[in-house]
Amino acid sequence: MRLSDSIESFIKTMLTQDEPEVELKRNELAEYFNCAPSQINYVLATRFTLDNGYVIESRRGGGGFIRIVRVVRTGSQKLLYLIHERIGDSISEGECARIVAQLKEERLLTEPEAALICAAVSGSALSVPMPEPIKDAIRAKTLKAMLTSVARQNRESAVHALTQNG
């Protein structure tokens, strides 16, 4: 396991369902992992972003700290946020894969749904002679349509379950 993955995993284990916020000291974390504080900064900047569902507060100096807060959104809120705010009019294959992996990790997509979406927006599915910006625009529209369908299906399943139990 790479150091960045170890640091991310360590922090995520501290962020449990009961504890959506953790306060750390950058230098102490760097000492624990025997790395430079810049490595901690890298992990925070790339793995704990708002798009990944986290807010980071930081105070420098002797009593400085890093506070990581997990933003709690329900499944449908998360999907709507991605569809309307994050994806935009264009998205790369790599960014698309990261979004799908995140949704699968958060159990908002099943394994088959994630595989189907990745296949539909893959480079091989869009391997026609056209400029990359057009492929990225088609990929964004496809991803939005598929996530909208999943959100609609999840909502219909929830309503059906409520009416059966009520």
Across the strands, what pairs with 98? none
Q: Domain span at residue 46? A: 3-70
Give the pLDDT of residue 21.
83
CATH of the domain at 114: 1.10.1200
Chain centroid, CA 2 distance in Å: 19
Give the pLDDT of residue 160.
47
Across the strands, what pairs with 73? none
Give the pLDDT of residue 71.
67
The number of C-alpha atoms within 13 Å of 67 and in the hemisphere containing its C-beta is: 10
Stated pTM of the model:
0.55
Over residues 110-137, the pLDDT tens digits come to 999 999 999 999 999 999 999 999 999 9
Q: Is the pLDDT of residue 70 over 90?
A: no
**Together in a domain, 56 and 82:** no
User: Cβ–Cβ contacts within 10 Å for residue 150, how many?
Assistant: 21
**Together in a domain, 80 and 141:** yes
**Together in a domain, 35 and 80:** no
**Domains contained in the chain, number:** 2
Residue 23, both tokens? 């306060």
